[in-house]
Amino acid sequence: MTVRCKQEEFGQIQSGEKVYLFTLESEGGLTASVTNYGAILTQLHVPDAKENVANVVLGFDALEPYLRKHPHLGGTIGRYANRIAGASFQLDGTTYTLAKNNGENCLHGGLIGFDKKLWQVEEFGESPQSQSAFVRFSLFSPNMEEGFPGNLKVFVTYELTADNALRIDYRASTDLATPLNLTNHSYFNLKGAGKGDILDHELSVMSDAYTPVNESMIPTGEIAGVEGTAMDFRKPRTVRSRIDEMKIGGYDHNFILNKSGAMSDDSPTLAAVAFEPTSGRRMTVYTTEPGVQIYTGNNLNGSVTGLGGAYEKYYAICFETQHYPDSVHHADFPNVILRPGQQYRQTTVFQFSW
C-alpha cells in the first residue's frame, strides 16, 4: 500500500513565525490534513459506500479562521481537557489558581490552551515498515503557564495507517507534579462537514456508567449506571432517539468506558462506534483512556462558517477520549497527576470502513 506525507506553508502567526500544513495520504482513500498550529486536524477525507470522498470533520481551509475564536475545531486540548471546578486545585499542599473561562470554572486548559499554541515540527514522512504516513509535533509548556505547575514537554503524533485509521499518540513528561489530561477535539459528521445534522447517526458506546454533572457541568462525584436512561448506547441507536430527554439540549457527558484506565496502558480498546446510514461510513473509536466525552454540537449556532458551510446545532459529534472531568477534586476518579520520572502515554484510534 502506498502512503504519502507532504508539507506546505499554511500562513504565519502574529510573531511572523511560519505555520505548516501536513497532508497524509493512504492508498485506501483516506487523506488527513494537520497543522502545527494547535496540532489541529483540519480535514479528514473518507470514501463512502459508493466511493464518493467527503471531508468528515469540521474545520477551515486557511489558517486565519483558526486564529479567531472558534469552538476548538480539531485541536489538541491541554493541559487539562474538559472542566476544573472553581478554576483551582490543590496538589501536594499547594493551591493553584487557573483562568475562569467557563463561568467559575477552567475549561480546556485556560485562556490560551495547547490548541492555540504553535507546536514544533519534530518529524514527518512515510514509514515503509508499518505502511503509514505520520507527522510528530512537540510543545514546551513552561512552569505556571495558565497556572499549572511544572515544565512540561508534550509530543503528539498523527499517523494515517494502512488499515484506514487515523492514530493519535500522545507522550509527555514534567519536572514537577502537574494535572494532565490531553485529548483531540475533532467534530465529526460522517455525511460530510456542513451536510446537515448528525441526529440520524447510529451510535454505540462501550459504557455501563457515566459521571453525572451539576448545572455548571461539573461532575457531582457520583458514578451512575446508564441502564434505563437516555445515556444508554450499549446497543446501537440513533442520536436522535432520546436526545430530547437531555436537559442541556443534547449530549455533553463523560462516559466511563468498560476498561482499565492506567495512564501507562499502551493497548487501545474499543470505545465507541458511529455509523451514518446514507453514506455507509462507519467510524470505530479505540482508546487507552478511561472515558470519552460525547458532545453533539449543542452550542453550534451557524455563527461559524467553515468547510461545507455554516455549522448549525447538532452538525457534528465529538469523541473526546479523556480522563474524567474535574478529576483533581475527586480522589476516587482515575489518576490525572503526572509526576517527575513518569511518562504520560495515551493513544486514540479512529478507524473507518464503508
Catalytic residues: 185, 320
The identity of residue 135, as a single letter, is: V
Separation of alpha carbons 245 and 198, rounded Å: 17
The reply to whether omega before 171 is within 30° of 0 (cis) is no
Residues 208/258, Cβ–Cβ less than 8 Å: yes
Inter-residue contact 346 to 169 (CB < 8 Å): yes
Residue 274 buriedness (CB in 10 A; 0-12 / 13-18 / 19+): buried
Contact of 193 with 307, CB cutoff 8 Å: yes
> Cα separation of 79 and 287, whole Å?
19
DSSP secondary structure, 158-213, as one string: EEE-TTSEEEEEEEEEESS-EE-B-EE--EE-TT-TTSS-STT-EEEE-EEEE--B
Closest CA to 162 of 130, 123, 136: 130
178 neighbors 152 (Cβ within 8 angstroms): yes
> Rounded to whole angstroms, how far apart are CA atoms 41 and 33?
6
What SS3 class is residue 245?
A: helix
Report d(CA 33, CA 337) in Å as an integer: 32
How would you class 97 by CB atoms within 10 Å of its CB: exposed for 0-12, middle for 13-18, buried for 19 or more?
exposed
Task: Report which secondary-structure segment, H or E, holds 5.
Answer: strand 3-12
d(CA 312, CA 189): 12
User: Which cell is 139 given?
Assistant: 510543545
